[in-house]
């Protein structure tokens, strides 16, 4: 080891590996793995093909076989030796990744840190189902959550039934083992029994399973296919919506890079005025959005 290597601080890069498929890694993620002296990955959540980016001679550690204390010991060694560690997380590290506690430990050790975002399983499932989660005048928000009662307690105000009252799109993680409770809370919160649901098991893995059902048939669907882990639910009316149109791409809408067609603009303003006058929810807001000139192509 050279003098420069001895004085160089160690670094831990938290790599978002996506929902499983190795080709959903970003270029930046692949580069971080290739540059690492130590690669820590979870064989239970990430496909082994991601390791093809690791350099020859790199130390490989399967985090699914060891407690967090063993991972932290690698960080301590990196701080002493000035080595680079790639810590591979499934999905995106910012969601249920236990990243914050690791960051705090790394900073205490004086390690440089970096987070590389990954594809979250909820967006991967939406892509597999070929559905947009935010449909104009139907749903403009996405709630990411999990069912209470598991290993980690839910903070006050964050139960599924409380989020369900918004009636928008929900992505529900880590909840397949308690599908009866999930259905009860979705209905208590206000979702109609016929609300569409997408059920995804092992999304982007070779054994992936994608199912559609409703809130009323969710429990039966889960039990029929014996799903209890690695399962994500997308719930909400947007999953079955058709025939809507965004004003952003209407020829009557203008923004910094595009001028509006005058005739189409008059028509768009008239629609907004009629909706506002009839008391339709969101009519006035839609008209204001069309007038704002903001947005992107």
Q: What is the CATH number of the domain that holds 148?
A: 3.30.950.10
The last residue of a domain, from among 103, 119, 135: 119
Question: Is 297 a member of any domain?
Answer: no
Task: Answer yes or no: do 113 and 148 share one domain.
Answer: no
Contact 159, 210 (CB under 8 A): no
Which residue, 94, 20, 83, is CA-closest to 50? 20
Residue 262's pLDDT is what?
74
Whose structure tokens read 């970096």?
114
How does pLDDT run along the chain (297 residues), one tens digit per residue?
Answer: 455 545 678 999 999 999 999 999 999 999 999 999 999 999 989 999 999 999 999 999 999 999 999 999 999 999 999 999 999 999 999 999 899 999 999 999 999 999 999 999 999 999 999 999 999 999 999 999 999 987 788 999 999 999 999 999 999 999 999 999 999 999 999 999 999 999 999 999 999 999 999 999 999 999 999 999 999 999 999 999 986 666 566 665 666 666 776 776 777 677 666 655 554 444 333 333 333 333 333
Q: Please give the tally of structural domains in the chain.
A: 3
Question: Is 60 a member of any domain?
Answer: yes
The last residue of a domain, from among 119, 134, 153: 119
What pTM, to 2 d.p., does this model score?
Answer: 0.81
The last residue of a domain, from among 119, 144, 174: 119
Residue 280's pLDDT is what?
42
Task: Answer yes or no: do 267 and 281 share one domain.
Answer: yes
What range does the domain containing 152 cover?
A: 122-240
């Amino acid at each position: 080891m050279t003098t420069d290597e001895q004085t160089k601080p160690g670094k831990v890069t938290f790599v978002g590996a996506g929902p499983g498929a190795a080709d959903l890694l970003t270029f930046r993620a692949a580069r971080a793995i290739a540059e690492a002296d130590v690669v820590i990955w979870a064989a239970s959540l990430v496909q082994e093909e991601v390791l093809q980016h690791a350099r020859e001679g790199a130390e490989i550690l399967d985090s699914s076989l060891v407690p967090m204390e063993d991972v932290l010991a690698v960080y301590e060694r990196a701080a002493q030796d000035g080595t680079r560690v790639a810590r591979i997380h499934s999905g995106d590290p910012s969601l249920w990744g236990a990243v914050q506690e690791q960051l705090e430990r790394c900073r205490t050790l004086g390690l440089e840190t970096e987070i590389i975002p990954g594809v979250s399983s909820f967006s991967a499932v939406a892509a597999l189902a070929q559905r947009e989660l935010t449909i104009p005048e139907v749903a403009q928000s996405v709630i990411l959550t999990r069912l209470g009662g598991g290993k980690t307690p839910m903070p006050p105000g964050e139960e599924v039934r409380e989020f369900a009252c918004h009636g928008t799109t929900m992505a529900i993680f880590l909840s397949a083992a308690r599908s009866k409770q999930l259905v009860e809370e979705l209905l208590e919160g206000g979702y109609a029994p016929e609300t569409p649901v997408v059920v995804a098991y092992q999304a982007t893995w070779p054994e992936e399973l994608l199912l559609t059902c409703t809130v009323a048939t969710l429990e039966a669907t889960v039990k029929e296919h014996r799903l209890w882990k690695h399962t994500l639910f997308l719930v909400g009316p947007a999953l079955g919506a058709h025939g809507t149109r965004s004003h952003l791409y209407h020829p009557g809408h203008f923004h910094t890079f595009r001028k509006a067609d005058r005739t189409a603009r008059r028509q768009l303003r008239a629609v907004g005025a009629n909706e506002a006058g009839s008391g339709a929810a969101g009519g006035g807001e839609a008209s204001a959005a069309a007038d704002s000139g903001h947005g992107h192509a």
